[in-house]
Chains A and B, each alone.
Chain A
Amino acid sequence: MTVIKSPGLRRTIKVAVPFVLVPMLAIAGSMAFDRKRHIIISLAIAVLALLLFTAGFEKRSTGTRRMVITAVMTALCFAGRFIPFLKPISALTIITGMYLGGEAGFLVGALTAVLSNFYFGQGPWTAFQMLAWGMIGLFGGVLSPLLRKNRMFLLGYGLIAGLMYSFTMDIWTVLWYAEGFSIKLYLSALVTAIPYTASYAVSNVLFLALLAKPFGEKLERIKIKYGV
């Protein structure tokens, strides 16, 4: 799915971000600021990573249909975030990645984070949520053959994705609070986040177990019927 139209701009981003901007930021971050200001640097790198991923999407043979299906999946994820306690976002993102490809999975995860935060509150964490959910979707696409074949593997991936999501978001919490990384604070953040972590992991496994198969059938059907 081509997101950035101009190929020149895409190429520039693809070269500049990993080889120039990120190393420069990392070096400047460690050299110029003797005290640890990881937060801004990690935020900048998260934004750059999002840019890099969007620049990487350049499969030409897509079109309006595929784009609209992505929008449908994003809307479903968005609506799902209103369910109390159980969050189907990661599960739906993984399903999208599995059946529509990693790029669609990445987009659905990242866009859901931006959109739903209009209701749940935007903040500096939006970039991290976008990256975390986007990666979950992207790997859902990369691991697609395995995930489709083996059900236990699928549920395991859901479980790990839920745990990893919570763990990465806690790294961000600690960086934000204490401007340097402290393992003690991180552990206490992990402990206070246990209910959330459990809810993420449980809802991922539950929704993947319930939805993966019927959803897959529906998406496959649409793909065959309309040749998306």
Chain B
Amino acid sequence: MRSFSEYDPKVVALYFFSVTGLAMFCSYPAITAMTLGGGVLYYIVRNRRKRIKSHLFFFLLFLALALINPLISHNGATVLFVMNDNPVTLEALLYGINSAAMVVGVLYWFRSFTEIMTSEKLLYLTGTLSPKLSLVLSMALRFVPLFRRQSAKVSDAQKAMGLFKEDNVIDDVRSNMRIFSVLITWALENGIITADSMAARGFGTGRRTQFTNYRMRRWDYLFLAADIVLMTLCIWAAASGAYTFEFYPMIRYRGSAEHKIIGEAAYGILVLLPVIVELEVNIRWKYLKSKI
């Protein structure tokens, strides 16, 4: 019983790339709508009533993106009204809404992705490709708070020695530049010492291990299998031309109906997979609690 964020990073990464990749690839209204709907739903399921501000931001972005296209593009047969001698068409407006839904939907998915894929999981993923790269990343992450603490120390020392003036802007900048310069020298020397210490302790002689051991469990395999099957169905539907849709000059759908239904259903389930996982976990948790 794990929520989706605790699944194996490989499975999580593949899932997010398959959903957003399909969304960006098929600019087809039903798919776009499902991307946006699923992205918003999963974000709400994860964060409940928090993050009202980001919802507001995404809504405003959606409006702006949807309205840009009819103002710039004047293709399309159905003229709604004429502005500054330029026709504003229904087709261009719908095209704008479609693009905006795609962009905002993908943004929602990636917002959840950023929350789930912590830097530690990235290290796990890069570690399998290149341990060296993974090490540089993890050291860089570790250096950031270290530098912050060290710069506070340097600043205190400079103040104690009477070298720090903040009477006016120029003095302020010069003092801060001095602190920065001290910090750089220290950081580089400290890095070399760290490297020597690592080499002395036998870095690079054996296989690198991870802090967290992720293991593929039954649900990971199930999720992975579902992801791959649904993605294949969507790609098959796209390849057989089910998602052929034209906005210009007039809205027209040219594709086979059976393929279309299969493709849309597959994508719909794909988008809902993590929500299903979360719901299952919640229900089981409540059930177990009620038995106590």
Contacts and interface: CB of A to CB of B under 8 A. Distances in A.
Given A67-B195, A71-B140, A218-B188, 15 more contacts: A3-B133, A39-B25, A54-B133, A67-B132, A71-B139, A72-B191, A75-B140, A114-B137, A124-B24, A177-B65, A177-B103, A184-B72, A188-B68, A226-B192, A228-B192
B144 A65 contact: no
A37 B107 CA distance: 19
B18 interface: no
Contact of A69 (B24, B192, B196, B244): B192
Chain A interface bracket (under 10, 10 to 19, 20 to 34, 35 or more): 35 or more
A64 B111 contact: no
Given A78-B140, A121-B111, A185 B72 contact: yes
Interface string A1-15: 111110000000000
A4 B72 contact: no
Contacts of A228: 192
Interface in A53-93: 54, 63-65, 67-72, 74-76, 78-79
B49 interface: no
**Which 7 pairs, one residue from A and one from B, show the smallest C-beta to C-beta distance?**
A75-B143, A71-B139, A74-B140, A68-B195, A64-B195, A65-B195, A68-B191
Point out which of B140, B141, B191, B204 has the most chain A C-beta atoms below 10 A from its C-beta: B140
A72 B189 CA distance: 10
Contacts, number: 142
Contacts of A215: 184
Interface of A: 1-5, 32, 35, 37, 39-40, 43, 54, 63-65, 67-72, 74-76, 78-79, 107, 111, 114-115, 117-118, 121-124, 176-179, 182, 184-185, 188, 210, 214-215, 218-219, 222, 226, 228
A71 B177 CA distance: 22
Contacts of B177: 210
A211 to B, nearest CB: 9
Contacts of B133: 3, 54, 111
A214 to B, nearest CB: 6
Interface stretch (B114-122, B261-269, B271-279): B114-122
A188 B72 CA distance: 9
B140 to A, nearest CB: 4
Nearest to A176: B103
